[in-house]
Amino acid sequence: MPRRLIQSLPRPSDNRIAIQLFPRAERAIARGHPWLFAHGIKRQRRAGEPGDLAVLFDRDDRFLAVGLYDPLSPIRVRVLQHGRQATIDRTWFAERIAHAWRRRAPLLEQSTTGFRVVNGANDGLPGVVIDRYSGTLVIKLYTHAWIPHLATVVECMREVLEPESIILRLNRRMQAKVEHLHGLSDGALLFGRAISGPTLFRENGLTFEADVLRGQKTGFFLDQRDNRLLVEGLSRRRSVLNVFSYTGGFSVYAARGGATEILSVDLSSRALNVARRNFQHNQSDKAVAAARHHVIRGDAFAILSDLHDEGRAFDVVIVDPPAFAKASSDVENAIRSYQMLVRQGLDVMNPGGILVAASCSSRIDAQSFARIVREAGGKAGRPLQLLDQTGHAIDHPISFPEGEYLTCVYATDAPG
């Protein structure tokens, strides 16, 4: 079945599309930016299909870059290679994947089998993410332009990464355009054994499960691994509140770190059920087995307010909400929401406790986020001292400004 599905996909065209750029777009591409927006196109030799190769030229007809064309997206071309011509074939894809894989080698030595293997444009493969959960690979596409190349990419993944299964995930924008999917669907099996039920994997020696078919992102928030480890180090003999817990990643680490009590809060009962099971998967660890873990399902803002009314307080408060600013028009509201969360978080934080506040909105940069947190502390009458601020983990490398989205602030109320 998977083979038939893949073989029925359209193949890439042999004819490249020549595109000349306006000066501003030309400068961005020449500097190495991976995206060409539709409005940056001055002249285009012919119309094209998703996945055609586009060759970008400057005003003097000098070669700039080659990339994947997508008439369905405002990002019209995603650059595969800058500066010199390339034959984009199986060898080229295999090399990019192998290079990305080599960058992640240190993780294997940390008892970690769940990590990002390819982080889109940051690994030279724009619009595609590949995550690994033990023997299962999940390839998530963000543009229809990858569909004609999927058969080749899957072959390369099999050759370089030797998985047992390969699962396809599609972002929402792609799922909405069914007529361009050629029979592909979110959660489809592309290779190997069918997946039913959760996929178990290791992270820093702990066992977690991911729902690779339906879970958020590709089933787990792999990008928070380093922060989870830091939280473990902060948790000894402390009570920990994990707001927006999803499947309890931070909570299990806090338990291993020796937390006296852990409360996970999330809107999704499915995620909280998984959080409970993630504790079960780690009962061989004495601290996890002894941990007192509770969950509350509901809206974070309402629950924080209830906890405050009940006079509850914790030593470590983690707030890791979904991206509040998805579009530039959301930024102001997002800032207000982040400030509100910090204030509400501090309402249930013991004096001298630690607030761990994360943002995954690429439109709010790390410096602004630190300012938002500090200002919210000031307004709450709990001036904050920033202990640390972290960015991206080794498997989430960043090579262009828009690729940067995650930041996490560690703060405590300054000694008064």
360 is catalytic: yes
Residue entry with tokens 């200002």: 375
CB of 323 to ligand SAH, least distance (A): 9
Q: Does 83 bind ligand SAH (CB under 6 A)?
A: no
Query: In degrees to the nearest 10, what's the CA dihedral of 220, 189, 405, 92?
Result: 130
Q: Does 250 bind ligand SAH (CB under 6 A)?
A: yes
Q: Does 183 bind ligand SAH (CB under 6 A)?
A: no
CB of 282 to ligand SAH, least distance (A): 15
Q: Does 279 bind ligand SAH (CB under 6 A)?
A: no
Q: Does 73 bind ligand SAH (CB under 6 A)?
A: no
Q: Does 133 bind ligand SAH (CB under 6 A)?
A: no
Report the residue from 35, 221, 314, 369 that binds ligand SAH according to the rule CB under 6 A.
Answer: 221
Which residue among the candidates 360, 376, 384, 406 is catalytic per the annotation? 360
Q: Which stretch binds ligand SAH (CB under 6 A): 100-108, 136-144, 147-155, 260-268?
A: 260-268
Report the residue from 35, 115, 142, 246 that binds ligand SAH according to the rule CB under 6 A.
Answer: 246
For ligand SAH, the binding residues in 320-359 under the rule CB under 6 A are: 320-322
Q: Which stretch binds ligand SAH (CB under 6 A): 6-14, 35-43, 241-249, 255-263?
A: 241-249
Q: Does 159 bind ligand SAH (CB under 6 A)?
A: no
Q: Does 299 bind ligand SAH (CB under 6 A)?
A: yes
Minimum CB distance to ligand SAH smaller for 125 or for 138: 138
Minimum CB distance to ligand SAH smaller for 23 or for 322: 322
Token representation of residue 390: 């972290």
Q: Does 300 bind ligand SAH (CB under 6 A)?
A: yes
Q: Which stretch binds ligand SAH (CB under 6 A): 70-78, 130-138, 316-324, 342-350?
A: 316-324
Which residues contact ligand SAH (rule: CB under 6 A)? 221, 224, 244-247, 249-250, 266-268, 271, 299-300, 320-322
Positions marked active-site: 360
